[in-house]
Amino acid sequence: MTAAGTVYAQGWTLDDVQWSRFDAAKVAPWMVAAIKAAALVEYNAPDYVTYLKRVFRDAPTRAAIEQWGREEAQHGRALGRWAEMADPAFSLEAAFARFRAGYKPAHFDSADETSIRGSRRGEMIARCVVESGTSSYYSAIRDATDEPVLQEIAGRIAADEFRHYKLFYEMLNAQDEPDLPFWRKLMVAVGRINESDDDELSYAYYCANVPAERAVQIPYVRAQSAKASYNTSLRIYRRQHIQKLTQMVSKAVGADPQGRMTKLAAALLWRMLRMRAGLSRAAAEAAA
């Protein structure tokens, strides 16, 4: 059975991964750069757990959030171990220490028990958006690589992330708050998507791919790191992954996942990504 066709169950551990199948000859350097950055973001789950447990106070929801955090952190360890195999100079713990020291959103350290999205429903919509993105991203990684171990890890993570989406979607509909109007749901979703341009992804990419000893010669410049991260992601995604992402986000905001507007949004997003990729390539060729 191909990696793309394998359905991985919940509750796996690093011992379940077939590490002995690792094939260095099938490792692409640009993919290693993407995996290193993803490992840091996933490994940072405990800070999100702390924040979400301030917003959601009931015991069952907190228990579910804690389990989610454990699975996310395991994703980081699995990706980090693969990256260390692909690039022995890379250390997950060392890179993560730099990342965590430099990336500290204000709401992580705040004592405020109100979601930065304005409501618990808004928070769950934002979480659904994130899980839509990660589920599609790791599915895309699985389909973009020929390296057997990375195919397996990405497949396992993609399955977890889809389950996490379902978990947060159920939490969204279980809240005792009044439902949000459609326009408000859409604003929350768009706002969370726009945050993909913030420091988290770009700084993770920098810490993962610029060794500490070269930090003076190559200082962090957000725009440059964000562009490098974005261009790497463009090499991974295919149209079907963008279509799935858009359908999942549409469902979270109360739109029809199979509707005309969702299909139009997916087509426009794919075209925008392709245009940005073309502009990036043209800029690189002009600079060469």
53-65: string of b/e by CB count within 10 Å (b at 16+)?
Answer: bebbeeeebeebb
Do the domain assignments include residue 263? no
On the CB side of 208, how many CA atoms lie within 13 Å of its CA?
A: 32
CATH number at residue 130: 1.20.1260
Contacts of 183 (CB under 8 A, 6+ apart): none
Q: At 112, is the pLDDT very low, low, confident or very high (cuts 50, 70, 90)?
A: confident
Do the domain assignments include residue 217? yes
Q: At 227, is the pLDDT very low, low, confident or very high (cuts 50, 70, 90)?
A: confident
Q: Are 131 and 161 in contact, with CB atoms under 8 Å apart?
A: yes
Count other Cβ atoms within 10 Å, centred on residue 133: 19
Long-range contacts of 271-276 (CB under 8 A, 24+ apart): 273/234, 273/237, 273/242, 276/230, 276/234
Do the domain assignments include residue 8? no
Average pLDDT of span 192-208: 85
Q: Is the pTM of this model over 0.75?
A: yes
Going by C-alpha positions, the residue among 144, 163, 132 that lies closest to residue 3 is 144
Q: Which residue has the higher pLDDT, 166 or 230?
A: 166
Which pLDDT value is given to residue 233?
Answer: 87
Scanning the chain, the segments in alpha helix (DSSP H) are 29-43, 45-55, 59-86, 92-102, 106-109, 120-144, 148-174, 182-194, 199-209, 222-234, 239-253, 260-287
Do the domain assignments include residue 164? yes
Over residues 57-95, the pLDDT tens digits come to: 999 999 999 999 999 999 999 999 999 999 999 999 999
Which tokens sit at 264?
């139009």
Do the domain assignments include residue 266? no
Q: State how many domains the chain has.
A: 1
Which pLDDT value is given to residue 5?
Answer: 59
Do the domain assignments include residue 91? yes
Do the domain assignments include residue 17? no
Measured between its terminal Cα atoms, the distance across the chain in Å is: 43
Contacts of 31 (CB under 8 A, 6+ apart): 141, 144, 145, 147, 150, 236
Do the domain assignments include residue 133? yes
* Residue 123 structural domain: 27-104+112-237
Going by C-alpha positions, the residue among 276, 274, 267 that lies closest to residue 243 is 267
